Amino acid sequence: MSAKKIAIIGGGNLGSAIAQGLVKSGFSQPSDITVTKRNTSTLADLKAAGVQVETDNAKAIRQSEVIVVALKPYNVREVLQQLKGDLDPAKHILISVVTGVSIADLSHIVPGMPVVRAMPNTAIAIQESITCICAANASEEQLRYVKTMFDQLGATVSIDEKLMDAATVLGACGIAFALRFIRANIQGGIEIGFDVRTASLIAAQTVKGAAELLIRENRHPEEEIDKVTTPKGCTIAGLNEMEHQGFSSSLIKGISTSYNKIVKG
């Protein structure tokens, strides 16, 4: 368990998910976490779990050592400018999960602060995130702490900052892409006879199983696909029709479009 007190500035979708994961994992005592936002009514569940809920960012920062910034990209500059006087490079470490805001940008807003960028996804709420991490001006010890924290909340990978936008697309947006794939499977499953609950369970568990084959067994997807595609069988017939309709191509184009949205605006 972490002895450090953690402030999460911006308790929206991701900020709340991080708090949930920190509580569930036992990494932090609920009372050592403070989550801020202007309208705190949406944080009732976290409050009931013992997490401190605040509208006052400065107060949250003063009573914490680790500051997780989970604001919308367009809010970061203004909010951090206001909090500059409360941030102490000797006491605090800043972890930004904000999309598209570089360590250089952050260091420009709050000079001298140790900054780590992290890119988790919403599965962090259930300790199943993949979190990409990069640091330019944090100490080895601070970086170790951040990695340990996110290791409790899923898996981590250290990357160069130049790959952070790509990490956002593949890991963070990727949850939505995967869920849309599952939804399409559910819709197909209903069309061929299943009720929605059964179709959802089969579709979700099947995707989980496929992912586990890659993660646990370190296999290439095509190696596993070869085991399923009986010659002249129904799998290859369905798979080829999906490819004729642009399945892989649409996913690759979607990933590329998502990436360009971050880098070109």
Ligand X SMILES: NC(=O)C1=CN([C@@H]2O[C@H](COP(=O)(O)OP(=O)(O)OC[C@H]3O[C@@H](n4cnc5c(N)ncnc54)[C@H](OP(=O)(O)O)[C@@H]3O)[C@@H](O)[C@H]2O)C=CC1
> What are the binding residues for NADPH?
57
Cα distance between residue 116 and residue 132, in whole Å: 11
Cα distance between residue 119 and residue 131, in whole Å: 5
One symbol per residue from 125 to 164: x for binding ligand A1CAB (CB under 6 A), - otherwise; what is it? ----------------------------------------
Strands 115-119 and 52-54: unpaired
Contact 157, 51 (CB under 8 A): no
One symbol per residue from 161 to 190: x for binding ligand A1CAB (CB under 6 A), - otherwise; what is it? -------x---xx-----------------
Q: What's the closest the beta carbon of residue 178 comes to ligand X, in angstroms?
A: 12
26 binds, among ligand X, ligand A1CAB, none (CB under 5 to 8 A by kind): none
Cα distance between residue 187 and residue 181, in whole Å: 10
Q: What's the closest the beta carbon of residue 172 comes to ligand X, in angstroms?
A: 4
Whichever of 34 and 121 has its CB closer to ligand X, that residue is 121
Cα radius of gyration (the chain): 21
71 C-beta neighbours (distance < 10 Å), count: 24
Binding residues vs ligand X (CB under 6 A)? 9-15, 36-39, 57, 70-73, 75, 79, 97-99, 119, 121-122, 172
Strands 6-9 and 33-36: parallel
Whichever of 22 and 173 has its CB closer to ligand A1CAB, that residue is 173
In the complex, which residues of this chain contact ligand A1CAB (CB under 6 A)?
Answer: 99, 168, 172-173
